[in-house]
A = this chain, B = another copy of it.
Amino acid sequence: MEITAQQLAIVVHGTVDGDGSTVISNYAKIEEAEPGCITFLANPKYTHYIYTTKASAVLVRKDFKPEHPIKATLIRVEDPYETIADLLNFVNSQRPQKKGIEQPCYISEGVAVPDDAYVGAFAYIGKDVKLGKNVKIYPNVYVGDDVVLGDDVILYPGVKIYHGCKIGNRCIVQGGATIGGDGFGFAPRPDGTYEKISQIGIVILEDDVEIGANTTIDRATMGATVVHRGVKLDNLIQVAHNVEIGENTVMAAQVGIAGSTKIGKNNMIGGQVGFAGHITVGDQNGIGAQSGVPNNVGSKQKLLGAPAINAREFARQQFYFKYLPEMFNDIKALKKQIEELKK
């Protein structure tokens, strides 16, 4: 992509302040931008960066008033963050959309493929599968028997959806994700071996869910593992059987959730966090990366650490951790002094 600031301003219904002929070929955060980049200023907290950024152009609010000279060309718009998102979506929409059925693929008899669908080569569609309008099933995808895919679902290459699972409208599943594998359920026998417990439930992804690459979501023992509307899961996340994740909760990569745990709405979970099984987590919590959550959590909390506690309290305890050796020696010295005082 190469475009001038002036051309871009026309696309985004903005006005140019500065050199309209500057050429933009890339995007970056304001503090990291290099020449040739466009960036944006939405959060007032970052305002100071605009005076030092190396970006060639910056999207700013219509009413932004600089307090110092700025090198970059400004493009004034209603909402800079939304504009950047729109811009990327616009560029993306220019790519040719996949359509039609590539051969060879395997579509079970009787499955209706909507006219506007894409079924890539080596995609497998099992018996009694229902396909929504405009689904895109990339090559090497497996869709098991009785699966339901809503409208506008995208399954990227190598996705596996086991039998019976339900995928809501506009869900996106990135490559290699495995949805509906058997839950990890085994009954110990007296001789130390284990008997597999059949996992006869399913996985339900409600509408507008996105699942990251190589993430795994296990089917329920009975009933359903449920990922509610609007949830976004990053790559390599483990969601065990009978887990439930509430609306609009967002999780960074490599999080693990053990069996039957219920997580509420609008939580933000950092990378590599682990949740114990059979616990309940409320709504609107922020849980920092690598935390371990062993017990129930309320709502609107900021947690950190393993075991996870109030983030501020964690920071406080952590702060004193480095004084441990010194404290140890101080206590030793104090003991000695007191012994002497006693004499």
Q: Which residues of A are interface residues toward B (Cβ below 8 A)?
A: 1, 26-29, 32, 81-82, 84-85, 88-89, 91-93, 95, 102, 104, 106, 120-122, 124, 138-140, 142, 144, 156-158, 160, 162-163, 172, 174-176, 178, 181-182, 184, 186-187, 192-200, 208, 210, 212-214, 216, 218, 221-223, 230, 232, 234-236, 238, 240, 247-248, 250, 252-254, 256, 258, 260, 265-266, 271-272, 274, 276, 278, 289-290, 292, 294, 306-307, 309, 313, 316-325, 327-328, 330-331, 334-335, 337-338, 341-342
Contact assessment for B274 and A272 in the assembled complex, using a CB-CB cutoff below 8 Å: yes
- List B contacts of A140 (CB < 8 A): 122, 124, 140, 142, 158, 160
What are 13 A-B contacts with C-beta separation under 8 Å?
A85-B198, A104-B104, A124-B139, A138-B142, A160-B175, A162-B175, A178-B213, A192-B248, A194-B232, A213-B216, A218-B235, A238-B253, A319-B325
Also in contact, A290 and B274, with CB within 8 A (given A187-B81, A194-B232, A216-B213): yes
> A57 CB to closest chain B CB, in angstroms?
13
> A223 CB to closest chain B CB, in angstroms?
5
Contact assessment for A200 and B322 in the assembled complex, using a CB-CB cutoff below 8 Å: no
User: Does more than half of chain A's interface fall in helix, strand or loop, or is it mixed?
Assistant: loop
> A168 CB to closest chain B CB, in angstroms?
14
> A235 CB to closest chain B CB, in angstroms?
4
Which chain B residue lies CB-closest to A333?
Answer: B335
